[in-house]
Amino acid sequence: MSKGYPEVRLRRLRRTSSLRDMFAMPTPEPSKFIWPVFLVEGEGRKEAIESMPGQYRFSVDELVKALKDVVAIGVKSVLLFGQTEKEDSKDECGHCACDPNGVVQRAIPVLKSAYPSLIVFTDVCLCAYTSHGHCGPRDVDGSVDNDAACDMLARVAVSHAKAGADGVAPSAMMDGQIAAIRAALDEEGFSNTILISYSTKFASQMYGPFRDAENSAPGEGDRQGYQASYRDLNTALRESEFDEQEGSDALMVKPALFYLDLIRTISKSTLLPVMAYNVSGEYSMIHAAAEKGYCDLYATARESLYAIFRAGATQVISYWAPFYKEIFS
Ligand code: PBG
Ligand code: ZN
């Protein structure tokens, strides 16, 4: 049996900075980061998002410019979020989310031709396109109609695949959405399109800044009827189990920092990649605290990102991606 103190002194392994480097876990590579970006119509638009310092709403030409430096540091992937700014094109079902001329559908080929090796993932949801801001059409009783939402989500996913997306990531938390989307993709000849489920996605306060960026807050009510409950661990775990069975290529836990336990548990029980979405509120909270002088911005970002990888995340979707250099070097 090994001895304890005073024969064993754990501080030996961290006495100098070289020793600390030697015994550290590997630094997360920039290729493990996916940068979520917000697209808007038009040209020459790069509008600061007030609630998310350092993030912008981009028209596609401006995103192409901004990606130059991001790709140069070794980040290889984006997750695209679209929206319509024409309030009158929004309807009950969010039909305009499938528009082949929508911002996302038009941006994909432009990004692919500017950066052929860039991995382009798209968020698949309806909340930025429905008149009521929910993630699917509502039933007579006002709740979201699960199966009608799945049909719409499948159509949106196919429209992104047609535009050339490498992968689609449905975030609506409808039962059966993975099976519905996989079937539609395969039927349309997109058997190579990656399907990434936002499999365990909680109803969370941490999406506030995002909804401001996307203009996608529900007009009435909230999303607790479809997003997972943080008070029900087992059902939250079953969400990921179901999506694995339905054929998802990767699982996801979202948000990340309040849910490190789920990242750990899920990554121990699956052989699929387990992505973590380090969401808008997690990003903006650190900015707000740093602005107040409570912590150092990049050192705190680094600590939080190590936590996510240490918990077992295999890739991280994070607004910190463009700041990789400032954070890790
Ligand atoms: C849309 C969607 C949301 C996020 C990703 N996709 C918001 C929501 O579900 O209300 C949140 C991302 C973030 O906060 O960074 N379904
Ligand atoms: Zn949604």
Whether pTM exceeds 0.95: yes
Q: Which of 65, 90, 201, 268 is catalytic?
A: 201
Could you identify the atom of ligand 1 that is nearest to the CA of residue 128?
1
pLDDT at residue 118 tops 90: yes
Residue 280: nearest ligand to its CA?
A: 1
pLDDT at residue 1 tops 70: no
The predicted model gives 261-275 an average pLDDT of: 98
Q: Which residue has the tokens 């190590």?
A: 306
- Is residue 86 part of the annotated active site? The answer reads no
pLDDT at position 176: 98
Share of the chain above pLDDT 70, in %: 100
- To test the pocket of ligand 1, the residue of 127, 135, 174, 318 to mutate (highest count of ligand atoms within 8 Å of its CB) is 127
pLDDT at position 217: 85
Distance 28 CA to ligand 2 centre (A): 29
pLDDT at position 36: 98
Three-state SS for 216?
coil
pLDDT at residue 210 tops 70: yes
pLDDT at position 212: 86
Name the residue at shortest CA distance from atom 5 of ligand 1.
171
Which residues, other chains included, contact 37 with Cβ-Cβ below 8 Å and sequence gap of 6+? 58, 63, 78, 79, 80, 81
Residue 283: nearest ligand to its CA?
A: 1
Average model confidence (pLDDT) for the chain? 97
User: 92-117 burial, b for 16+ CB within 10 Å, e for fewer?
Assistant: ebbbbbbbeebbbbbbbeebbebbee
- Is residue 76 part of the annotated active site? The answer reads no
User: What secondary structure letter does DSSP report for 133?
Assistant: -
The CB density around residue 291, as the number of other CB atoms within 10 Å, is 11
Q: Which residues surround ligand 2, an ion (CB under 5 A)?
A: 125, 127, 135
Predicted confidence (pLDDT) per residue in 153-183, tens digit = 999 999 999 999 999 999 999 999 999 999 9
List ligand 1's pocket residues with C-beta within 6 A.
123, 125, 127, 135, 171-172, 207, 210-211, 223, 279-280
- Please name each of the domains of the chain with its CATH number: 29-328 (3.20.20.70)
Q: Which residue has the tokens 């920092």?
A: 257
The predicted model gives 279-303 an average pLDDT of: 98
- To test the pocket of ligand 1, the residue of 52, 132, 216 to mutate (highest count of ligand atoms within 8 Å of its CB) is 216
Distance 214 CA to ligand 1 centre (A): 9
Which residues share a beta bridge with 167? 121, 194
Name the residue at shortest CA distance from atom 2 of ligand 1.
171
Name the residue at shortest CA distance from atom 8 of ligand 1.
207
Residue 129: nearest ligand to its CA?
A: 2
pLDDT at residue 230 tops 90: yes
User: What secondary structure letter does DSSP report for 275?
Assistant: E
Distance 203 CA to ligand 1 centre (A): 10
